[in-house]
Chain A
């Protein structure tokens, strides 16, 4: 059986497709746990130098400067000491700010937070972009994610929208990302799925509304898109790649090639529908607010076989309407 999606074919979804996972709860487990050391009698926290006098705000800026530093915790500590936080240049010893513990010095201890900060955000991006991660491989994806995190730290209390910035980041020219154009297309597709997942459900146009229309009214109709649909055009066949990845067919990165996909939610299932060029043209014109008559006229100007295409497009309307792509009709 061919698993390659055909234009107009709806693909995958369902409750088990739970790619929107928990964002922040516990500290990520260290990838390589520290060497076990035998603990004897617990000792009180060690303060070996007079505490540095600093305001709460300065302490927090110093701490965050280390934890969020893109390089190592050592580099973060050095940068925080030299940074804009008043008084911390005097903190020649980190122990004047942070305590050592029974088994770890202050640097190792704040290193737990430095590791967790980066691991959590990389994990968040990996949740939203599993196919991009597959395409790039773990190491390159992690490098990309960390570069993005350094350039665009989260500024929201919520991580649900954080991954959206990665799409723009990948699209920026001169960015050093292998197969950047393909990765940007793939990231766009995966992010559209996240957006559609979180979009508010709203009433959609029923097929009954189409059935009662007289033929002469069709040309004047405008089809307002649903909030739970995204129409995407790509320079690579990324939907086919994503589908192959989900079916564990170990896809190879494809050559450039035009493709278009509608991502939409029907009920609470996310669907992806590949579109042929005429279908994408008509949908794009409708979503831009043109009447159906104008959209079909434009199609006829561009395609020699347009007369044959129009019946196919009209058949698609039933599928698009049943899929909830339209919110309402306007005349």
Chain B
């Protein structure tokens, strides 16, 4: 059993999501460079998030280490290869592996991205943008339902950072996500850094995005650093989180009535203590953001708490 861990954030009650899933506190992404530190020092971290695929198609050392860490900490799974939006068939072998890993580490939920990663059998291993059209909505909704049925639990989708849009789009990303939640009962993992990056790349107001999210579907937040190239921003997950992104987190966290927060840092990764200290800065930005009542929503048509 994971031992209880001290949270650096104020308690948010009642549970901020309709799935009844817990607010795990402030976590960090588990990365190989920190394996030794985590195993040896058992740092006081609320929870870890793993990139699911790093522990799939392997039966060796990565899984062995993950097993040890999962003994002590809650582990949430975050995937990058579900490719929920592709027009290729769903990869059932992948889903089988994903489900097996979830059961192994007892992950309370698993998430992936609103995106596609390849087509015609070729995988880009990137999170490619969707056109936000009625056809795409019907297509993604159908696949989300299939995935949820397969895994026997709600799927949580993250808003991607995008660098280009489709001329054919007839709705905004937040309208698409909201409609997807209504049609499938799926949940959301909101990456506030992605909202910021996309707002800069597409010229929308992040406040409009936040206003359009069905907050009772949100179980988790991501924060991360990005590269600001002037002409556009890139979601690199390098470096500390910028203040505008922290402020977005404060606003979003309040709207959600509190939810788990996770820092992603994927390149030029600093020492664990530096990383964790940066993650705990979230506490500053959500400390004054007392949960506020949300408007009531109709129950989900499909899905629910596991």
Contacts and interface: CB of A to CB of B under 8 A. Distances in A.
Interface residues of A, number: 79
B76 to A, nearest CB: 14
A153 B123 contact: yes
Chain A binding surface, main DSSP class: loop
A305 B209 CA distance: 80
Interface string A110-147: 10110011001100100000000000000000000000
A102 interface: yes
Interface stretch (B16-24, B125-133, B250-258, B284-292): B125-133
Contact of A29 (B29, B120, B236): B236
Contact of B227 (A15, A30, A101): A30
Contacts of B64: 201, 268
B211 interface: no
A38 B230 contact: yes
B232 A101 contact: yes
A48 B29 CA distance: 41
A63 interface: yes
B58 A39 contact: no
Interface residues of B, number: 73
A160 B232 CA distance: 31
A198 B57 contact: yes
A101 B86 contact: no
Interface in B115-174: 116-126, 128, 131, 133, 135-136, 139, 161, 163-169
Interface of B: 29, 31-33, 35-36, 39, 51, 53-54, 56-62, 64-65, 80-83, 86-87, 91, 94, 116-126, 128, 131, 133, 135-136, 139, 161, 163-169, 199-205, 224, 227, 229-232, 234-238, 264, 266-267
12 contacts: A15-B65, A23-B51, A44-B202, A44-B204, A101-B202, A109-B164, A112-B232, A159-B53, A161-B57, A199-B60, A200-B59, A201-B60
Given A43-B203, A112-B232, 19 more contacts: A15-B36, A20-B54, A27-B126, A33-B227, A35-B231, A37-B230, A42-B205, A59-B168, A61-B120, A67-B128, A97-B167, A98-B167, A102-B201, A104-B231, A109-B163, A157-B53, A159-B53, A160-B54, A201-B60
